[in-house]
């Protein structure tokens, strides 16, 4: 199973944003929505082997994680507005004290930031995506349980990089140029697809 974890430093965990103006009313949730589409959706379908986590860190008083599970997700449309509407509804859900609370098939929400994800990531090979790090094309990538961690338009905070390193993450890149998060995800997914097609 592949996992993509996207950290939104400004994205707020609140349903109180305008669908007509997502970027300026949500703390750039649009960046995360495009990343979600790139990670989970393919032409006319959903990647059943993929989970995407949107980590909403924009309000320190209320940090939350939205989880999208390709194996169970239904009726996800690829346009940003429709995905934003799905997130809006999910963010109205009250979270249980611990772990993820189901919202609807394939979608769940949890309180907390990166640390709340650890139970889901502890058995995964962790990879932090960072321009200039070791080229993923020449790196061995675990085939079974993997998690790829990416920043938003701002990038990853030093504390998050340090947390990942402490938890055994390897740093990899898709080349020397800093790209948009969604494009990096598309390249990583394509790299994994090619390897799978060649038998690993
Ligand atoms: C728009 S970039 C962030 C740019 C930000 N100004 C910075 O310096 O980190 C968004 C995220 O995509 C990932 N990323 C961008 N380019 C990459 C590359 N060439 N290789 C691997 N990851 C990349 C990183 O995780 C980054 O945090």
Q: Could you report the per-residue pLDDT of 121-152, keeping only the tens digit for each?
A: 999 999 999 999 999 999 999 889 999 999 99
* Ligand 1, residues at Cβ distance < 6 Å: 129-131, 150-151, 153-156, 173-175, 177-181, 184
Q: Which residues of 110-146 are buried (b: 16+ CB within 10 A; e: fewer)?
A: bbbbbebbeebbeebbbbbbbeebeebeeeebeeeeb
Please report which confidence band the pLDDT of residue 200 belongs to, taking 50, 70 and 90 as the band edges: low
Residue 60 confidence (pLDDT) above 80: yes
Rounded to an integer, the average pLDDT of 172-181 is: 96
pTM above 0.85, yes or no: yes
Q: How many CB atoms lie within 10 A of CB 71?
A: 13
Instruction: For residue 177, give the ligand 1 atom closest to its CA.
Output: 19
Q: What is the pLDDT of residue 199?
A: 82
With a cut of 70, say whether residue 41 has pLDDT above it. yes
**CB atoms < 10 A from the CB of 168, how many?**
10
- Res. 96: pLDDT tops 90: no
Choose one of 129, 187, 190 to mutate for the ligand 1 pocket test, by most ligand atoms within 8 angstroms of C-beta: 129
Percentage, residues of the chain above pLDDT 90: 92
Give residue-wise pLDDT tens across range 69-79: 999 998 899 99
């Amino acid at each position: 199973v592949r996992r993509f974890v996207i950290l939104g430093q400004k994205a707020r965990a609140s349903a109180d944003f305008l669908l007509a103006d997502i970027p300026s009313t949500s703390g750039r949730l649009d960046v995360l929505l495009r990343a979600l589409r790139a990670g989970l959706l393919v032409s006319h379908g959903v990647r059943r082997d993929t989970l995407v986590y949107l980590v909403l860190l924009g309000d320190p008083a209320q940090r939350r994680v939205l989880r999208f599970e390709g194996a169970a997700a239904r009726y996800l449309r690829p346009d940003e507005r429709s995905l934003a509407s799905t997130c809006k509804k999910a963010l109205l859900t009250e979270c249980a004290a611990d772990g993820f609370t189901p919202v609807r098939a394939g979608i769940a929400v949890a309180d907390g930031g990166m640390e709340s994800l650890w139970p889901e990531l502890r058995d995964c090979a962790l990879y932090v995506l960072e321009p200039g790090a070791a080229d993923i094309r020449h790196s061995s990538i675990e085939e079974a349980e993997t998690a790829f961690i990416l920043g938003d338009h701002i990038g990853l905070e030093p504390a998050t990089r340090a947390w990942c390193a402490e938890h055994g993450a390897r740093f990899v890149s898709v080349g020397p140029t800093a790209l948009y998060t969604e494009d990096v995800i598309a390249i990583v997914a394509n790299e994994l697809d090619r390897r799978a097609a060649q038998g690993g």
